[in-house]
Amino acid sequence: MGSEVKRMRPRATLAVVGGGVIGLAIAWRAAETGWRVTLYDPAPGSGASHVAGGMLAPLSEGWPGEELVLDLGAASLQRWPDFAARLQQATGIDVFSARESLTVALDGADAADLRTIADCVGRQGYELRIIDRAGLRAAEPALARSARLGLLAADELAVDNRALVAALRRACAGAGVDLVERAITDIDALAEEQVVLAAGYSSAKLWPRLPIRPVKGEILRLRRRRGVAPGPSRVIRARVHGRPVYLVPRADGVVVGATQYEAGVDTTVTVGGVRDLIADAQAILPSVAEYELAESAAGLRPMTPDNLPLIGRLTDRVVVASGHGRNGILLTAITVDAVLAQLEGNQLLEAKSADPQRFTDEKERR
Ligand code: GLY
């Protein structure tokens, strides 16, 4: 009986440069779909992904003129339950930390803004619910008495960013991703057939024409002490003295965010930043004064000029998945699908607004 030697086609090789949530998620899913993946990052999960609030809040952040950002975010939010279920199946880790978000108004100007958001989002076909003062009290008894109107997003989830990094790392290991803890300085020196550039604001150093700049954000992690009243059960967002503030539930307390500075590559936590975050959080939820100040940290958001990310082909070999700005965690789910489509030679229509060629074309038209 002759023995038949089966020849396996060698798997195509993929380098993912950057091990934040975007790079990790792409590496995991690409490996699951058959690519031989190497992920390069000197310290995976330690950048913006480590500092994120984890809100998946495209509707609450809706605003006239930002409709493309809203649509892209909503398309990603829709994908999150399946994405998270698949991740939980692969790792046993549930990454969700809240299931709704509530934006509150403290004065008349804030209340008018909430109505503007509700109208804008409604025109795009999504729904937010206005909640009156009594409804606010019933929903979140710990809210400040000055909260006068609310906007409830019943489907806006929140994710524990650090649980997400841990889950994605485990999923990558399970799918056979080779993790190389080394900084890449030259994409051309990589041996893999295809490359995904997912290095956050550092992507612009590796591909200098990418319009991505770092925008600093500081956050606090507050831990609830024994005997202190329970914190919010959903994400709470507001403006205090014109500054946006959010409180995102965690198993042991809340993440409070975030400041925003155009300060270049600077991750120093400032006294003024911490002071404002504490004061603003307390204006919304007075009981946070009783919490333990467990951590303060700063990260660098990779921002683009139009607040949309860059997801798509730069060349036949290189796909970019960077520039997610304030929405890296939210946009992880759609970015993975868009990049997997690109690697197969297709384009995901829902992510068309993120095509990096929009900046190239604009330059060439001038
Ligand atoms: N993801 C929220 C922020 O960047 O502040």
Please name each of the domains of the chain with its CATH number. Answer: 13-365 (3.50.50.60)
Q: Is the CB of 299 under 6 A from ligand 1?
A: no
Tell how far the Cα of 69 is from the centroid of ligand 1, in angstroms.
Answer: 14
- Ligand 1: which of 51, 327, 329, 332 to mutate, judged by most atoms within 8 Å of the beta carbon? 327
Is residue 203 within 8 Å of residue 270, measured between CB atoms? no
Give, in order, the Cα–Cα distances in Å from 21 to each of 18, 261, 360: 9, 22, 26
Q: 191 CA to middle of ligand 1, Å?
A: 35
Q: Write the residue with the smallest CA distance to atom 5 of ligand 1.
A: 258
Task: Return the residue whose CA atom lies nearest to atom 1 of ligand 1.
Answer: 326
Q: How far is the CA of 296 from the centre of ligand 1 (A)?
A: 15
Distance 277 CA to ligand 1 centre (A): 13
CA distances from residue 337 to 36, 48, 183, 214, 284 in whole angstroms, order as listed:
18, 21, 26, 25, 37
The answer to whether the CB of 328 falls within 8 A of the CB of 20 is yes
- Whether 217 is in the pocket of ligand 1, judged by its Cβ within 6 Å, is yes
Each residue's pLDDT, cut to its tens digit, for the chain (366 residues) gives 444 555 566 789 999 999 999 999 999 999 999 999 999 999 999 999 999 999 999 999 999 999 999 999 999 999 999 999 999 999 999 999 999 999 999 999 999 999 999 999 999 999 999 999 999 999 999 999 999 999 999 999 999 999 999 999 999 999 999 999 999 999 999 999 999 999 999 999 999 999 999 999 999 999 999 999 888 999 999 999 889 999 999 999 999 999 999 989 999 999 999 999 999 999 999 999 999 999 999 999 999 999 999 999 999 999 999 999 999 999 999 999 999 999 999 999 999 999 999 998 555 544
Which atom belonging to ligand 1 lies closest to the Cα atom of 52? 1
Strand partners for 244: 239
